[in-house]
Amino acid sequence: MSFEWKTKPVSKKDREINFLEAFTTYPKSVLPGATMPAYHDVLTPEQVRDIASYLSSLRVEVPSPTPLPIETPTSEKVSPTAPVPVAPPQIPHSLEGRLACLACHQAGVGEAPAIPAEHSGRTNEVCLSCHKTKQ
Domains of the chain, by residue range, sit at 12-57, 89-135
Please compute the mean of the pLDDT values over residues 112-117 and round it to a whole number. Answer: 78
Please compute the mean of the pLDDT values over residues 53-57 and round it to a whole number. Answer: 86
The confidence band for 5, taking pLDDT boundaries of 50, 70 and 90, is very low
The confidence band for 90, taking pLDDT boundaries of 50, 70 and 90, is confident
**Cα distance from N-terminal residue to C-terminal residue, the chain:** 95
Q: Which has the higher per-residue pLDDT, 54 or 78?
A: 54
Overall pTM surpassing 0.85 (yes/no): no
The confidence band for 72, taking pLDDT boundaries of 50, 70 and 90, is low
As a whole number of angstroms, the distance between CA 38 and CA 22 comes to 10
- Asked if 131 and 123 count as a contact pair (C-beta separation under 8 A), the reply is no
